Structure 1
Amino acid sequence: MPTERLNYVDGEWTVSESDETFETVDPANPEEAVSTYPQSTAEDTEAAVEAAVGASEEWRNTSGPERGQILSRTSAILTDWKDELTELLVREEGKTRTEAGGEIQRAIDIFDYYGAKARDLGGTVKGASSRHTNLYTRTEPLGVAGLITPWNYPIAIPAWKIAPAVASGNAVLIKPASLAPGVVHEMARALEKAGLPGGVLNVITGPGSEVGDTIASHPDVDAISFTGSTAVGNTVYDTATEDGKRVQLEMGGKNPTIVSDAADVEEAADIVASGAFGVTGQACTACSRAIVYEDVYDEFVDTIVERAESIEIGHGLDDLDMGPHVSKSELESTLEYLDIGREEGATLAYGGGKLDREGYFVEPAVFTDAEPDMRIAQEEIFGPVLSVIPVSDYEQAIHVANGVKYGLSASIVTDDHGEANRFVEDVDAGVVKINQKTTGLELHVPFGGVKESSSETYREQGEAGLDFYTISKTVYDAY
């Protein structure tokens, strides 16, 4: 029997006014339902906004250290629940156990980090130009933050939005993605157990057309933080900014790794394979383009194909190398791009076949001799598909790397330090890595993209993550 889960509004677990529900299923075994959730309406969302508004004044006046203690206790509770949360994440999203456990740990660490940061919030004191004047700033919360989050990192991304929002004194309502919302419900349960007052966090499940649109357009919501596709993000931005909301968007990517002729090819193949095929390629920072110097191209192709061939695929709970796609539609989208790549004239050097078993499984795929303007080298695929593009030198490599509409994450593999420094300066990306995979982020530094990967307004994570949810007030006090 699937687990019945409810909305969390004003400190209570509630059904939707629609009395309708939807199910999540195990992507490795789609016949198995995992949980049921309310198919919420605009009216349900209105109630959640009202609850957040009602809680915001008391919460903003709660001291930073007290808010921080609640977040720190939440981190400890999530630690105690880590094994159960890992299994739930695997069963709804499909990650391997190791990948899911790493993501749960990420959420644990985020709450611990912002629990400490909440104690330091306040403002700064400056020297005034005139005597007998105190000049200082106050850092204050915006009020109510609406969060819309994706399925591919179903606890890490909600955590890095909820924790700074709550730490800085805002009330929150969140719409998690319908494919894997269970871990957000468990996070809410942990915050409740840690002592978070009712109404400070509200969780509403349901379709974007009802829940998401209401959050983005509601006049009592002061800020919107969205992570998801570029197309949906742009719609959210247009809706939210009509009445002057503060908006933060993190969206798609088409992330390159340049493999220089100064690279260790074996190391480069390991880095690219991990970035391209980890989490089944279902990451906005996944490497989908390997841009390889011609002098090492053939050796790299042989080695990356070996890496792809060695990947073991299976149910995430078996903890092999790669799990399934999250849904049938995501699998079909990847298979469609494999057909597109072949039609465009790229060589499918390995993989790409749907596995003959129950579940949304596909082999990792390596296209060789890809041209930079092919759709498989321009469009976000969101699956384990790598296009290998030959280039003659650094200048051509950086031109190809920057020749897409996205600019999220980019890396170079090289033992030439001068080349690496040039790459840092030249590449159009918000996250730049040297001799590392494009995926994987530290939680205490800013994260975000450029071009169509981001609204380029505010960064997430680290101290920058607090900036989005706060505003400064400058005080001149003559005495």
Structure 2
Amino acid sequence: MSCWKIGPALATGNAIAMKASEDSSSWLPACAFNLVVGDGSTVGQTISEQMCIEKVAFTGSTVTSRKIMEGIAESDLKNVTLGLGGKSPNIDQASGIYKELLERFTNDVNQGPQGSQLQFDRTMSYIKSGKEQGANVHLGGGRVGDKGYYVEPMIFTETKREMRIVREGVFRPVAVVVELEDADDAVRQANDTLYRRVCSDSLLPIYPPFAFAGLASARKRRGRKDFEGSTAIRQFCSLQ
């Protein structure tokens, strides 16, 4: 219910001091959770270089992660976990469904805007790149209206391996659908990227589930994304 007050207050330019109910449990001790707002080049750098901080966990771009590592190297070589870009294929082994799959995609999708002018411009640059490099526009890809950062979800087909939209971690509503020859071709194309990935193998027939065991992930530009499950707990534990 606090959000009912917070939203309108912020929208009309007000600052907020919120008091929780006296019946609310104090589930965190004082200073256990601290939120710092500011520019990454100043606040982020300070956090990376701060000697009293023992662990840094970051999700974002490869470029920023390198700067974080530089700051850590200049300080105390603290522990770090990085969740960076990815290029994760969704491989469908069902035979002969390429055209049927494309026909099922629709323009009738509700999607929020890109987060900023910068992200909007990057999205449009990927779309422009795909068109200029000769990919086929199967669906969407235009700007919605002349206000805000709304972009139609985009699907490219008939792509080539050297295209940016195929090789880079796009991380925005720009998808590529590729028709594959066989399982070996799927493994070869999925591995042909600088990024680590998670393979989603849908509609698996009575086909050995080990078909995609060849999807390598070592030494890829995805960082160490150990933020889920029991591995996440271990990332924030240290024996003194």
Distance of 2:202 and 2:215 partners within structure 1: 14
Q: 1:41-120 alignment to 2 at 5 Å? A: 84=4
Cα deviation for residue 396 of structure 1 reads: 0.5
Distance of 2:25 and 2:42 partners within structure 1: 29
Q: 1:150-229 alignment to 2 at 5 Å? A: 194-229=26-61
Distance of 1:345 and 1:202 partners within structure 2: 48
SS at 2:91's partner residue?
A: strand
Which has more helix, going by share of residues?
A: 1
Change in CA separation of 1:352 and 1:412 when aligned onto 2, cut-off 3 Å: same
Question: Could you say which residue in structure 2 is the equivalent of 1:236?
Answer: 68
Q: Which amino acid aligns with 2:239?
A: S
Which has more strand, going by share of residues?
A: 1
Distance of 1:340 and 1:420 partners within structure 2: 36
Q: 1:447-466 alignment to 2 at 5 Å? A: 451-455=220-224, 459-466=226-233
Question: Could you say which residue in structure 2 is the equivalent of 1:410?
Answer: 199
Cα deviation for residue 395 of structure 1 reads: 0.2
Unaligned runs of 5+ in 1: 1-79, 93-184, 263-294, 312-320, 430-448, 474-479
Question: Could you say which residue in structure 2 is the equivalent of 1:303?
Answer: 104
Residues 233 and 249, structure 1, Cα contact 8 Å, conserved in 2: yes
SS at 2:232's partner residue?
A: helix
Change in CA separation of 1:374 and 1:389 when aligned onto 2, cut-off 3 Å: same
Which residue of the other structure, out of 140, 153, 157, is the alignment partner of 1:368? Answer: 157
Change in CA separation of 1:258 and 1:364 when aligned onto 2, cut-off 3 Å: same
Distance of 1:419 and 1:363 partners within structure 2: 38
Cα deviation for residue 218 of structure 1 reads: 1.0
Q: Which amino acid aligns with 2:191?
A: N
Residues 98 and 179, structure 2, Cα contact 8 Å, conserved in 1: yes
SS at 1:203's partner residue?
A: coil
Q: Relative contact order (alpha carbons < 8 A, sep ≥ 6): 1 or 2 greater?
A: 2
Which stretch shows the higher mean deviation, 338-347 or 370-379?
A: 370-379
Q: Which amino acid aligns with 1:246?
A: N
SS at 1:232's partner residue?
A: helix
SS at 2:229's partner residue?
A: coil
Does residue 346 of the first structure (1) align with residue 135 of the second (2)?
yes
Cα deviation for residue 197 of structure 1 reads: 2.9
Distance of 1:335 and 1:419 partners within structure 2: 40
Q: Which amino acid aligns with 2:81?
A: Q
Normalising by structure 2, report the TM-score.
0.84
Does residue 472 of the first structure (1) align with residue 239 of the second (2)?
yes
Distance of 2:56 and 2:204 partners within structure 1: 42
Which residue of the other structure, out of 123, 135, 138, is the alignment partner of 1:334? Answer: 123
Distance of 1:371 and 1:208 partners within structure 2: 36
Cα deviation for residue 297 of structure 1 reads: 2.2
Residues 224 and 245, structure 1, Cα contact 8 Å, conserved in 2: yes
Q: Which amino acid aligns with 1:421?
A: F
Residues 249 and 455, structure 1, Cα contact 8 Å, conserved in 2: yes
Residues 407 and 452, structure 1, Cα contact 8 Å, conserved in 2: yes
Change in CA separation of 1:410 and 1:210 when aligned onto 2, cut-off 3 Å: same
Q: 1:6-21 alignment to 2 at 5 Å? A: none
Question: Could you say which residue in structure 1 is the equivalent of 2:14?
Answer: none
Residues 94 and 205, structure 2, Cα contact 8 Å, conserved in 1: no
Q: Deviations over 1:71-105 (max 9, x none)?
A: xxxxxxxxx65x659x95xx99xxxxxxxxxxxxx
Distance of 1:357 and 1:339 partners within structure 2: 18
Change in CA separation of 1:409 and 1:385 when aligned onto 2, cut-off 3 Å: same
SS at 2:156's partner residue?
A: strand
Residues 333 and 381, structure 1, Cα contact 8 Å, conserved in 2: no
Q: Deviations over 1:321-355 (max 9, x none)?
A: 21111112111111111110011110111211101
Q: Which amino acid aligns with 1:451?
A: K
Change in CA separation of 1:376 and 1:419 when aligned onto 2, cut-off 3 Å: farther
* Deviation >6 Å, runs of 4+: none
SS at 1:200's partner residue?
A: coil
Question: Could you say which residue in structure 2 is the equivalent of 1:387?
Answer: 176
Distance of 1:450 and 1:343 partners within structure 2: 31
Distance of 1:220 and 1:415 partners within structure 2: 50
Number of residue-to-residue matches in the alignment = 230
Normalising by structure 1, report the TM-score.
0.44
Q: Which amino acid aligns with 1:405?
A: L
Distance of 2:148 and 2:183 partners within structure 1: 42
